[in-house]
Amino acid sequence: MRWYAYKNFVRRSVDLMAVDERGGAVYEGQPMTVLMKRIEEAQRGEVREPTLSIPHDYAQELLQALWDEGFRPNNGEGGTAESAALRKHIEFAEKVATALLPSVKG
């Protein structure tokens, strides 16, 4: 399954489309609506059905589609690829600083 995400500025939403190919046929996820239901105080600890349940690999595809569309975690932490790129950038900047300012030790 592949997820596609795009910002819909008219609706002020992020629209998601799930597409899958099986046996030479193409399938797409059908629109769904999330209806909110009030949970009474006494019900808060009960186990209920999830709002959405998808396999791990589909969840990874969904996160990648959202990342590609520009969404990042609120805590500002990126993925391993972003962290590795940042480390390489810092190493490069240190080499340049050392070359330009010999008194700076790396």
For residue range 18-58, list pLDDT tens digits in order: 999 999 999 999 999 989 999 999 988 888 888 888 899 99
The residue among 22, 9, 21 whose CA lies nearest residue 69 is: 9
pLDDT at 5: 93
Q: Give the structural domain span for 10.
A: 1-33+55-71
60 & 101 share domain: no
The residue among 20, 19, 15, 2 whose CA lies nearest residue 69 is: 15
Q: Can you say whether residue 23 is alpha, beta or left, with left for phi > 0 and alpha for psi between -120 and 50 degrees?
A: left
22 & 3 share domain: yes
State the Cα–Cα distance between residues 73 and 41, nearest whole angstrom: 30
Residue 49 lies inside a defined structural domain of this protein: no
Query: pTM above 0.75?
Result: no
